[in-house]
Chain A
């Protein structure tokens, strides 16, 4: 399996404060990679650097061979981001949101319409396709948000808290959708729901104070920490564990 993302000594400082501290690891193509940590761990800043939204203070990362510091425009051609907030155009309909993003990503009108049809079918959005974004329930807004991110057929997808605020059924449904994406997309998932990370991720990175505290599959992290559950393992790493 080839490397999709290679992170090399990535550091971000705001003034004297180091938010991401010398992080290095790589993610394979097709992998679903979980990024965990308590609030302020540096997950969002790391994602912002990888998606070209923020420049690293030092270090670099390559996404499918393209450097985030040297060629951020090329990086933007292969990635998509589904932010923590639903990030949809609230007064546009579901279909208009999808077609807008398809057009922005460079598809012509016919292709955009076809891509929107595909996303509407894939996420079962048919009953709502002519409904405005702001009138959808939280769950459907989240689905639309992910559908918008996927319309460009990104090779790397960043999902920031994709199930935040959803009930258990909504979360399970979205998990099933995310599982399906694994086949052809590399996914970087941040979440506060540990069971979500455990259920979906091939590997998990646990961050604390901008540093990587642990890296491995959920099973490996449980074993390394000598705990019986993933939740206990997570607590171990963010309270006393060291880099493994």
Chain B
């Protein structure tokens, strides 16, 4: 009951911010439209709609980290969390109440991204559902990163880190905009130690119907998702006690 009430509140707090809708939903769609238009003029394999859509869908998830960081840090700075800490709400109520709406928004955002891609020429296939389902593990990564930033940092720092740094990291180190083999070396090695390119690669594998190629990328993503989710829970609980 408390979880659903708080999750409902988190949803309203985010969707009533027009900037959230603009960036969270609008920006990935604009990128999809723009890169598809570029691909029509100068065809590049990477910007082929089947290759591009899983990448843009993962990139769109980075905004969920921004929303999570924003809502948690704002609640801390306004003392709304302090007030709630004196109520019967438990750490479970808080963590699920913050995360659940963002995880659902991630899936909705992914679905919208794929619908736009269909309008742009992507063929409808069952693989698409697998690709959308595979957005859930990276969604945990981004939401957890947002929760961690929101728990530890001021609103300004948390939104800066999640909004600017994380979206850029997710963009540059995910192989969405350019083939990482073109850069190679240390850059590529670093990218493959991080989860972003794995999230994109497993989406591409799903879209191509080569489900065995989802691995080992899924393990990387799941590993990061579990570690970051546990870290977010531990840090939030610690913050609850410290406050």
Contacts and interface: CB of A to CB of B under 8 A. Distances in A.
Interface of A: 48, 51-55, 73, 76-77, 79-92, 96, 100-101, 103-106, 132, 148-149, 152
Nearest to B88: A76
Contacts, number: 73
Interface string B152-174: 00000000000000000000000
B80 interface: yes
Given A104-B87, A104-B88, A106-B88, A87 B80 contact: yes
Given A76-B86, A79-B86, A148-B83, 20 more contacts: A53-B82, A53-B243, A55-B241, A81-B82, A86-B78, A87-B78, A88-B80, A90-B13, A90-B74, A90-B78, A91-B17, A92-B12, A96-B9, A101-B87, A103-B2, A104-B6, A104-B87, A104-B88, A105-B88, A152-B87
20 contacts: A51-B86, A53-B86, A54-B243, A80-B86, A81-B82, A82-B83, A85-B77, A85-B79, A87-B80, A87-B83, A90-B78, A91-B12, A91-B13, A91-B16, A92-B9, A92-B13, A100-B6, A105-B87, A132-B16, A152-B87
- A104, A106, A132: which has the most chain B beta carbons within 10 Å? A104
B5 interface: yes
Nearest to A106: B88
A183 to B, nearest CB: 23
B80 A89 contact: yes
Contact of B5 (A81, A85, A104, A149): A104
Assign chain B's interface to a size class. 20 to 34
Contacts of B74: 90
A36 B85 CA distance: 24
Interface in B71-111: 74, 77-80, 82-89
B1 interface: yes
A81 B86 contact: yes
A75 B34 CA distance: 57
Contact of A85 (B16, B78, B84): B78
A81 to B, nearest CB: 5
Interface string B224-235: 000000000000
Contacts of A55: 241
Interface centre among A52, A55, A91, A148 (most CB of B within 10 A): A91
B5 A100 contact: yes
A89 B80 CA distance: 7
A152 B86 CA distance: 12
Given A54-B243, A104-B88, A83 B82 contact: yes
B73 to A, nearest CB: 13
Nearest to A74: B88
Contacts of B86: 51-53, 76, 79-81
B96 to A, nearest CB: 14
Interface string B133-160: 0000000000000000000000000000
Contacts of A84: 79
B83 A83 contact: yes
B82 A104 contact: no
B82 A87 contact: yes
A135 to B, nearest CB: 11
Interface in B50-86: 74, 77-80, 82-86
B85 A53 contact: yes
Nearest to A82: B83
Contacts of A83: 79, 82-83
A105 to B, nearest CB: 6
A103 to B, nearest CB: 4
Contact of B84 (A52, A96, A104): A104
A105 B80 CA distance: 15
Closest 6 CB pairs of A and B: A83-B79, A85-B79, A87-B79, A91-B16, A103-B5, A87-B83
A104 B2 contact: yes
A105 B6 CA distance: 12
Contacts of A149: 83
A89 B87 contact: no
B9 A100 contact: yes
Nearest to A77: B88
Q: Chain A CB within 10 Å — which of B77, B79, B86 has the most?
A: B86
Contacts of B80: 87-89
- Of the candidates A80, A88, A90, the one having the most CB atoms from chain B within 10 angstroms of its own CB is A90
Given A53-B243, A87-B82, A89-B80, A103 B88 contact: no
Contacts of A104: 2, 5-6, 84, 87-89
